Amino acid sequence: MPELPEVETVIRSVAPKIEGRSILGTQRFSALVMPEDCTAALVGQTIHSVSRYGKHILMELDRGVLDVHLGMTGKLLTNGAETPYTRAILVLDRGRLLYDDIRQFGRIRYHERGEATDELGPDALTIGPAEFAERLAARRGRIKPLLLDQRFVRGLGNIYADEALFRAGVHPRARAARLSAHRAQSLHQAIVEVLTAAIEKGGSSISDYVDAEGRAGSFQVEHQVYGREGEPCIRCGRPIRRIVLAQRSAHYCPKCQRV
């Protein structure tokens, strides 16, 4: 599932192919993926740059921004063939950009410049340790659901939240505000390290994820808790446990991670 490292990898692979290209037309737009039809507004505009906002892919156009969120199974493909799951196509002056999405949890939205957009928290990769600790201290809730809340920090999803908590030795049910300064700092460091390492491996490919050229990532082989329920902890050997927290699965080691 695309989280910060996967989205970053998609952007790095898609940007050189579409920056500077102009949009000649659109094809096959799924109403589910694009709740408000903006296809007419896109035609004739040039894609100036592609950047990441949390898990959002932002394409800067002449008069606005095209916001692509991959959801669970979304793919942005520059050289892919159409499939039954191709939900949207941008016809460019050189090539086409396909948006494939099996489950259609992804969304494509267009905002004219100046229009209000959703305000999310600081980016998980660039937030500083002091600001991170300060934001933690202000929250009463449990740490795992907080890490998944894009208004708290943007970019983390279920995989990297679990992986960061394990690396920092923090139990997913730990209360955010009760973490010591030292543990808050460890968690911040673990988040930055795990995201950086995952970007270097082109992200995690569990089921569907590939970059804009169809290449899978390889960080899934370095997962230490996610998807390892019942398997031995790499540190202490105890079986990794899976619980449901805030309607999400949380994987952790009952010995190495403390509340």
Partner DNA sequence: ATCTATTCCTGGCTGC
Partner DNA sequence: TGCAGCCAGGAATAGA
Site for DNA, rule CB under 7 A: 1, 3, 32, 54-55, 69, 71-72, 102-105, 118, 139-142, 145-146, 148, 150, 157-159, 207, 245-249
**Which residue matches tokens 């102009």?**
22
- Between CA 71 and CA 12 the distance in angstroms is 18
Residue 248 annotated to the active site = yes
How far does the chain reach from its first CA to its final CA, in angstroms?
27
Provide the minimum distance between the beta carbon of 62 and DNA in the complex, in angstroms, as a whole number.
25
Catalytic residue among 2, 5, 145, 172: 2
Which of residues 23 and 53 has its CB atom nearest to DNA in the complex? 53
Catalytic residue among 3, 6, 8, 163: 3
Which of residues 25 and 126 has its CB atom nearest to DNA in the complex? 126
Residue 3 annotated to the active site = yes
CB distance 229 to 251 below 8 Å: yes
Which of residues 12 and 139 has its CB atom nearest to DNA in the complex? 139
Provide the minimum distance between the beta carbon of 243 and DNA in the complex, in angstroms, as a whole number.
10
Tell me the CA distances in angstroms from 227 to 55, 81, 203, 244, 251, one per residue in order.
21, 31, 15, 13, 7
Strand ranges (DSSP E) for 41-144? 49-53, 56-60, 64-69, 74-77, 86-92, 96-101, 107-112
Task: Summarize the chain as % helix, strand, coil (round to 5).
Answer: 30, 25, 45
Which of residues 17 and 160 has its CB atom nearest to DNA in the complex? 160
Provide the minimum distance between the beta carbon of 227 and DNA in the complex, in angstroms, as a whole number.
7
- Between CA 36 and CA 72 the distance in angstroms is 20
Residue 55 annotated to the active site = yes
Catalytic residue among 139, 248, 254, 255: 248
Provide the minimum distance between the beta carbon of 46 and DNA in the complex, in angstroms, as a whole number.
27
Which of residues 23 and 159 has its CB atom nearest to DNA in the complex? 159
CB distance 194 to 163 below 8 Å: yes
Side chain identity at residue 160, one-letter code: Y
Residue 2 annotated to the active site = yes
Provide the minimum distance between the beta carbon of 250 and DNA in the complex, in angstroms, as a whole number.
9
Catalytic residue among 5, 17, 52, 55: 55
* Residues catalogued as catalytic: 2-3, 55, 248
